[in-house]
Each structure stands twice: as C-alpha cells, then as structure tokens.
Amino acid sequence: MHWSHHLKASCVITLQALWRGYCVRRASGRSSKEARARIAAAAEAAQAAPHKRIGVRAKQALEVLLASKQCSQVGAWMPCHLQRSS
C-alpha cells in the first residue's frame, strides 16, 4: 500500500507540473515565445553543425595555445576564428 500512495503522489505532482507549464506558456508574451523559438533553432543548428559548438571551439583554441611556442602563432590563428564564431 505504501508504494501505491507514493505512485499516486508522483502522478499528481507530474500532472500539476504539466498543467502549470502549459498555463505559463499560454500566458507568456510574444517575446518569450520568440525566445523559445530562437533557443529551439539554436539547438537544431548545434545538432546540424557540431564543429560550431562552444566546447569544440574552446578545445581547438586550447590546442593552439598549448602547441604554440610563439605569440605570433596564436595571433595568426585568432582573428579568423574570432570573426567566424562571433
């Protein structure tokens, strides 16, 4: 009987969370809807082009910094990558 009470409570909490999320999204303004759309588009773009993810770019930058013996090598690499990622 104890597990059934826990299961019912869990279901009730889940339904309440779903309902509250629905109500908040329904009442949100245009800017919130546009922000959600931009986030969804960015997530799709990240899936389509993994080489543009910030983790990959940071790893590449660290590899260049660690492999470079002179500042001129780092300077030659930075402008083209900073423009592309901005």
Please, are residues 73 and 60 in contact by the beta-carbon 8 Å criterion? no
Q: Is the pLDDT confidence value at 86 over 70? A: no
Kindly report the average pLDDT of the chain as a whole number. Answer: 82
pLDDT at 67: 83
Q: Is the pLDDT confidence value at 40 over 70? A: yes
CA distances, 45 to each of 36, 39, 55, 72 (Å): 14, 10, 15, 33
pLDDT at 75: 64
Residue 49 carries which side chain, given as an amino acid letter? A
pLDDT at 81: 57
Per-residue DSSP letter, 52: G
Q: Tell me the per-residue pLDDT of 47-62, one tens digit each, with 9 for 90 and over.
A: 898 888 888 888 988 8
Q: Is the pLDDT confidence value at 38 over 60? A: yes
